[in-house]
Chains A and B, each alone.
Chain A
């Protein structure tokens, strides 16, 4: 299994600012995934973070808006840049081990 610590758990931010979300895993993993869950909607994959290479972004998500760092095999950050109210969502970090996905508790972001 994998235990994921994600922080902050929630934040209220002013539009135009940036927020960095941290994700720490208790074991080494090759890939880490970042998902977004907008209000009333399902989880959507933002990007896959690989250690030692650039993240792979899904359609509709770009590096300038959601820069990702992956400095080692147990840690990743996702930054939500130049925020607008439309970025208000829950952001989730996830890893896959033995064909099972494990999730952080999520970061509830509100942009005002």
Chain B
């Protein structure tokens, strides 16, 4: 069965500091991985997906199949990055998601 692990429930960094949110997964097939974000009082939304290899709001994430990781990184955190971040994996033709437990990121001024 697939599983997504986010070891940090809470993460605080100062504005301008680098930030890395960890995500590890277990999946027997070829995974498709995502980062979803939920800002305060907003609905859950897609931040980025590994197949796009894009940078969104300064965030990047590289899929490391050897380490089964998909860590989210940003070199200089901003206060508006404070939010709940979920790593997720999709499986099956229906494309339902398996979520990690989430990391609450707080960027301090």
Contacts and interface: CB of A to CB of B under 8 A. Distances in A.
Interface in A19-74: 31, 33, 41-45, 48, 56
Interface residues of B, number: 21
Contacts of A44: 99
B36 interface: yes
B46 A106 contact: no
Interface in B66-109: 86, 88, 90, 94-102
B71 to A, nearest CB: 17
A106 B44 CA distance: 9
Contacts of A105: 43
Given A42-B101, A42-B102, A101-B36, A48 B96 contact: yes
Interface residues of A, number: 20
A100 B49 contact: yes
A99 B94 CA distance: 10
List of 3 A-B pairs having minimum Cβ-Cβ separation, nearest first: A42-B101, A103-B44, A96-B95
25 contacts: A31-B94, A31-B95, A33-B94, A42-B99, A42-B101, A43-B44, A43-B97, A43-B99, A45-B96, A48-B96, A56-B94, A94-B97, A96-B94, A99-B32, A99-B49, A99-B51, A100-B46, A100-B49, A101-B34, A101-B36, A101-B46, A101-B88, A101-B95, A102-B45, A106-B43
Interface of A: 31, 33, 41-45, 48, 56, 92, 94, 96, 99-106
Given A33-B97, A101-B36, A101-B88, 18 more contacts: A33-B94, A42-B86, A42-B99, A42-B102, A43-B44, A45-B98, A48-B94, A56-B94, A92-B44, A96-B95, A99-B49, A100-B46, A101-B95, A102-B45, A103-B43, A103-B45, A104-B43, A105-B43
